[in-house]
Amino acid sequence: MLNNLLKKIKDRKAKVGIIGLGYVGLPLAVEVGEAGFTVVGFDVAKDKVNLINAGKSDIDDVPDSAVANLVQSGKLSATTDPKQLRQMDTVSICVPTPLSKTKDPDVSYILAAVKWIQQYIHKEMLIILESTTYPGTTEDMILPMLEESGLKVGRDFYLAFSPERVDPGNQKFTTKNTPRVVGGTTPRCTKVAQAFYEQFIGSVHAVSSTQAAETVKLLENTFRSVNIGLVNEVALMCDRLNLDVWEIIDAAASKPFGFMPFYPGPGLGGHCIPIDPHYLSWKLKSLNYYARFIELAGEINSQMPEYVVHRIRNVLNDRAKSVKGAKIVILGVAYKRDIKDVRESPALDVIKLLEGQGAKLYYNDPYVDTIRWNDSIHRSSKLTPALLKKADLAVILTDHTSYNYQWLVDNAKVVFDTRNATKNVRNNRRKLVLL
* 272 flagged as catalytic: yes
Strands of 15-19's sheet in order across: 76-79, 38-42, 15-19, 90-93, 125-129, 157-161, 180-184, 204-206
pLDDT-based confidence at residue 276 (cuts at 50, 70, 90):
confident
User: Which of 14-18, 49-53, 164-168, 417-421 has the weakest average pLDDT?
Assistant: 164-168
Confidence of residue 340 (pLDDT cuts 50, 70, 90): very high
Q: What is the structure's pLDDT at 277?
A: 85
What pLDDT is attached to residue 354? 96
Of all residues in the chain, the percent with pLDDT exceeding 70 is 100
Q: What is the mean pLDDT of residues 163-169?
A: 87
Q: Mean pLDDT score of the chain, rounded to an integer?
A: 94
Nearest Cα neighbor of 298 from 99, 73, 31 is: 99
List pLDDT tens digits, range 369-404. 999 877 788 999 999 999 999 999 999 999 999 999
The answer to which of 103-107, 110-114, 142-146, 407-411 has the lowest mean pLDDT is 103-107
Q: How high is the pLDDT of residue 230?
A: 96
**Inter-CA distances, 176 with 141, 198, 262, 287, 348, Å:** 29, 10, 26, 37, 32
Domain ranges in the chain are: 2-208, 233-434
Answer yes or no: same fold for 2-208 and 233-434: yes
Q: Write phi, then psi, for 337 (nearest 5 degrees).
A: -65, 145
The band of 184, judged by pLDDT with boundaries at 50, 70 and 90, is very high
> Which residue would you say has higher pLDDT here, 327 or 273?
327
Residue 47's pLDDT band (cuts 50, 70, 90): very high
pLDDT of residue 243: 96
CA nearest neighbour of 197 among 205, 187, 207, 188: 205
**Residue 322 — pLDDT band, cuts 50, 70, 90?**
very high
Rounded to 5 degrees, φ, ψ at 331 are: -105, 105
Distance CA 50, CA 82 (A): 16
**Across residues 43-56, what is the average pLDDT?**
96
Residue 223 pLDDT > 80, yes or no? Answer: yes
In contact, 305 and 346? CB cutoff 8 Å: yes
Q: Please say whether the dihedral angle defined by the alpha carbons of residues 365, 366, 372 and 377, taken in this order, is positive or negative.
A: positive
Q: Which of 3-12, 50-59, 169-178 has the lowest mean pLDDT?
A: 169-178
Q: Check pLDDT > 80 for residue 309.
A: yes
Q: What is the pLDDT of residues 242-268, one digit of tens each?
A: 999 999 999 999 999 999 999 999 998
| Mean pLDDT score, 236-240 | 96
Q: Name the β-bridge partners of 125.
A: 157
Crossing angle between the packed helical segments 304-317 and 346-356, to the nearest 10 degrees:
50
Binned at pLDDT 50, 70 and 90, residue 99 comes out as confident
Give the separation between CA 428 and CA 346, rounded to whole angstroms: 28
- Architecture (CATH level 2) of domain 233-434: 3-Layer(aba) Sandwich (3.40)
Spatial CA neighbour of 296 closest among 277, 269, 283, 309: 277
19-41, pLDDT tens digit by residue? 999 999 999 999 999 999 999 99
| 184: β partners | 160
Q: Helix H segments across 126-264? A: 143-147, 187-198, 210-241, 245-252
| Residue 213 burial (10 A CB sphere; 0-12, 13-18, 19+) | buried
Confidence band for 154, pLDDT divided at 50, 70 and 90: very high
Contact between residue 394 and residue 332 where contact means Cβ atoms under 8 Å apart: no
- Asked whether the predicted pLDDT for residue 103 surpasses 80, the reply is no
In CATH terms, the superfamily for domain 2-208 is NAD(P)-binding Rossmann-like Domain (3.40.50.720)
Which one of the listed residues 94, 189, 238, 272 is annotated catalytic?
Answer: 272
